[in-house]
Amino acid sequence: MLPYIGSPLARLIFGGFHVNKATLMRFFTLHFLMPLFISCVAILHIVDIHQFGSSNPLHSGNIKEVIKFHPYFKVKDILGIIIVSSSFSSLTLSSFHLGHSANYILASPLITPEHIVPEWYFLGLYAILRAIPNKLFGIISMFSLIINFVQAFLTNEYD
C-alpha cells in the first residue's frame, strides 16, 4: 500500500474496509457509464468534423483548405458502422456456439468447480501466485516477471 494515502484510498474505492455491495455497485456503475461517455465523445467528435471540416493532413494545395465531411468522412463512418455492427451482431447471435457447457450451470457461492483454471496466457502468473503463500510477495513476483519480459523485449534480447 501507499504510505499515508493507501488505506484511506482503499476505503474510498471499496466503500468500507472490504469489498461489499457498495464496491460492486460502484464498479458496475463505472462499467456502465464509461462506454456511454466514450460514445458521447465520439458522437461529439463526428458532429464537430461535420460542422467545421477536418484539417489538411497531407498539406496538398492550400494549407488552409479543409476536407469536407460529406462525402469523404460520411462514407467512411457509415462503412465502419456497418462493419462493426454486423460483426458484433453475428458474434452476439452465434455466441452459444462459443461458450463452454459449464457456463450454463447455475452459480453457487458455496461450490467452486474443480475444472476452473485461468486461460493459457495467465497460467504462468497463476502458478506464481499459487506458489508463493504471501499475497504481497506473490504480486511483486508476478509484476517483476512482467517487467523482466518487457525489458527483455525492449532491449531485443530475444533476437
Active-site positions read 50, 54, 76-77, 119
Taking alpha carbons only, the member of 46, 67, 47 closest to residue 56 is: 67
Element (H, E) at 84: helix 74-93
Upper half-sphere CA count for residue 57 (Cβ side, 13 Å): 3
Rg (CA), the chain: 24
- DSSP character at residue 118: -
Cell matching residue 36 = 456511454
CA distance 140 to 1: 12
Q: How far apart are CA 15 and CA 21, in angstroms?
A: 9
44-60: b (≥16 Cβ within 10 Å) or e: eeeeebeeeeeeeeeee
